[in-house]
Amino acid sequence: MGFYKEPTDYNKTALSDLQSAWSVLRDAVVNDFSFPNSDTLLFYIDEAMSLEFVKNLKLMKELLLFICNIASQSAPEEIIKLSEMVREALEDVFSAIAEGGKLCQR
């Protein structure tokens, strides 16, 4: 029985882009926590990044719409743009699923 060797090369995937987009949005909210509803926004971003929502991307899409709505009401322009980037990354995931593309590297 051999030992598992960790791969040294990784393919960029739609899911990794989505994870990165969520992380960048979360960091931006944390770094600029002074705007109204920033605590609510952070709560829902963390919820959207949870395993429950990653397992059910349709739920994530619904929650993202809610997050974008909160952001559009009180967040700085940068955070609104970053939430739009998350939406685009999520749409890329749905496109990859529709095309039968590879979503994750194993």
- Give 75's DSSP letter: S
| Torsion angle, alpha carbons of 72, 75, 78, 80, to 10 | -20
Amino acid at 80: I
What pLDDT score was predicted for residue 61? 97
**pLDDT tens, residue by residue, 58-100:** 999 999 999 999 999 999 999 999 999 999 999 999 998 888 7
- Give 32's DSSP letter: T
Whether pLDDT at 30 is above 80:
yes
Structure tokens at 20: 């990165």
